[in-house]
């Protein structure tokens, strides 16, 4: 099976999902940190606690205790408050301008992001794709679970799964964006930890459902 076949099936069910919800690139970056090991509803509560202060200058000037109080709903708040400080310090090197960041070579940015405390591959690629609109396919636990159940012949390491998508798809930010969103949706709806195969759009091609 090719990624294009998988996407066509998922697109027929879900269409364009307009993923990821954020009003500005920096808000998205914050969300990428806060969503680690928690549900998105908790991230929304934490972001709402910022009020109108979802800005890098606010995070730069806030104390760790202030940040902890704001992001507490997202869990792991002590760690994440420190991570937000580190991410914001990196962003400051670019004068807090997403356009300056996005003008750099993607692989250089990816390495810079991975050097930030608290930023792993999924978080780095989420920032690149959703925050900076750069073509770096995001791989998460849903993606690995789905490919494993579909019987895709690929080692389920982050970079191998990412290459499986990116080596076959055109370099297209909206496509990468919506493809990953469709994977999230089908996994939440059907390909759960305990699979719910009835009605799944992938039932005809999924080895686990046959």
Q: What is the pLDDT along the chain (210 residues), one digit of tens a residue?
A: 899 999 999 999 999 998 887 789 999 999 999 999 999 999 999 999 999 999 999 999 999 999 999 999 999 999 999 999 999 999 999 999 999 999 999 999 999 999 999 999 999 999 999 999 999 999 999 999 999 999 999 999 999 999 999 999 999 999 999 999 999 999 999 999 999 999 999 999 997 776
Please tell me the class of the 3-18+138-209 domain: mainly alpha
8-state DSSP, 163: H
User: What's the DSSP call for residue 101?
Assistant: H
pTM score of the predicted model? 0.95
Q: Bin 116: left if φ > 0, else alpha if -120 < ψ < 50, else beta.
A: beta
Give 45: exposed, middle or buried? Use CB within 10 Å, 0-12, 13-18, 19+.
middle
Domain residue extents for the chain: 3-18+138-209, 25-131
Question: Residue 41: what pLDDT?
Answer: 95
Q: Are 93 and 103 in contact (CB under 8 A)?
A: no
Q: What is the model's pLDDT at position 20? A: 82
CATH for 25-131 is 1.10.340.30
Report the alpha-carbon distance of residue 39 to residue 41 in Å, rounded: 5
């Amino acid at each position: 099976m090719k990624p294009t076949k998988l996407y066509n099936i998922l697109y027929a069910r879900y269409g364009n999902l307009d993923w990821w919800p954020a009003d500005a690139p920096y808000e998205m970056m914050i969300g990428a940190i806060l969503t680690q090991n928690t549900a998105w509803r908790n991230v929304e509560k934490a972001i709402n606690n910022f009020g109108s202060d979802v800005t890098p200058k606010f995070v730069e000037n806030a104390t760790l205790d202030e940040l902890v109080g704001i992001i507490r709903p997202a869990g792991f708040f002590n760690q994440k408050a420190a991570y937000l400080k580190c991410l914001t310090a990196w962003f400051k090197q670019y004068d807090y301008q997403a356009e300056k960041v996005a003008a750099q070579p993607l692989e250089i940015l990816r390495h810079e992001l991975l050097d930030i405390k608290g930023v792993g591959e999924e978080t780095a690629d989420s920032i690149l794709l959703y925050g900076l609109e750069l073509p770096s396919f995001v791989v998460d636990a849903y993606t690995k679970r789905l490919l494993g159940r579909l019987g895709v012949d690929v080692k389920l390491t982050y970079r191998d799964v990412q290459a499986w998508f990116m080596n076959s798809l055109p370099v297209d930010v909206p496509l990468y964006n919506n493809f990953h969103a469709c994977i999230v949706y089908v996994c939440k709806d059907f390909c759960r930890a305990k699979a719910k195969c009835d009605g799944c759009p992938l039932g005809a091609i999924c080895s686990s459902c046959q």
